[in-house]
Homo-oligomer: A and B are copies of this chain.
Amino acid sequence: MIDAAGLRVMRAIADEGSFTAAALSLGYSQPAISQMVRRLEARTGTTLVERVGRSVRLTEAGAVLARHAGPVLSALDAAEEEVAAIAGLRSGRVRLMAFPSASATLVPKALAMVKAEHPGVTITFSEAEPRESLAALRAGECDLAVAFVYEGTDLGRGEEDLDPFVTTPLLDDEVLLAVPHDHELAQAKNVDMAALKDETWIAGCPRCRGHLLQLASTAGYVPDIAYETEDYVAVMGLIAEGLGVAVIPDLILKTVHHEDVAALPMTPASRRHIVAVTTPDLQRVPAVKATLDALVASAQASNSKPSKAKR
């Protein structure tokens, strides 16, 4: 019934003492004030302004409105300012999730960039496998996820539906074969997957295990998986001891280097796409957008050549 504009007008009249002055102070024309007052009087059913000769004077009811104007308008201003702070990146909160090996360099660098450029933006970060982070994103417990997708592996495959999300490519990570330093293939330039039929395998995370199975399946056999662990330091150790070989993304190899392990390209070449995932809505939230931009910049600075945008 009574709106903020009405209160602003009443306060201006109280302060300025005339319609004309009030109009001037609000940037309106004089008749606008006349009409606004009339509207307010019609709505409230009471006289608000006493037109006395040259000037005007507020009635009791009018004074009441003018008196309430201050608190209401300043509360509105406060709300507006707070939203503007978020929109202007002087404030904001982003909940970021990334898979463990992305945490090593990609994410820390991006966090530092955001903090440097927008000190008001706070980012809460937690590690999670793609499966979990996408679930969190879907559940609204996360604003931005850094995940990966194996090439060839169809994005969705039922469990991870990327349909409602927008994905931004960050890095293309080549998957290499890791063998002991003294392995017969250690010096090879390239190795065919089919040639590894009789090797003993070490698998990483469930997702990577699936990838291995798919690669072997394509080559026409089922790999002999002797060890499984999500700890890639352990994987490297196992390989170094000659207990097996493994397919490991280049990015991980760079992080957990082991001098007794050699890495070599495979045929067919296999890649892991590292992407940032969010929703169309969240992508437009300034703080989220800034973090996403920082991730892209971080990826470009750190390493390879991102491929073209997707979806």
Which positions in A face B, CB cutoff 8 Å?
Answer: 1-5, 7, 44-47, 49-53, 57, 59-61, 64-65, 68, 71-72, 75-76, 78-80, 82-84, 86-87, 92-93, 138, 140, 164, 279, 281-282, 284-287
Contacts and interface: CB of A to CB of B under 8 A. Distances in A.
Q: Count this chain's copies in the assembly.
A: 2
Given A53-B164, A61-B86, A65-B83, 15 more contacts: A1-B80, A2-B83, A44-B83, A46-B86, A46-B285, A47-B284, A51-B281, A52-B140, A53-B138, A59-B282, A59-B285, A64-B79, A68-B76, A68-B79, A75-B75
A92 B64 CA distance: 11
Nearest to A48: B83
Given A52-B138, A86-B64, A138-B52, A79 B7 contact: yes
B72 A79 contact: yes
Contacts of A50: 140, 279, 281-282
Q: Which of A3, A45, A59 has the most CB of B within 10 A?
A: A59
Given A50-B282, A281-B50, A72 B64 contact: no
Given A4-B3, A140-B50, A84 B44 contact: yes
Q: Which of A65, A83, A93 has the most CB of B within 10 A?
A: A83
Contacts of A61: 83, 86-87, 285
Give 4 nearest A-B pairs by CB, closest first. Answer: A68-B79, A46-B87, A50-B281, A47-B284
Contacts of A59: 281-282, 285
B2 A80 contact: yes
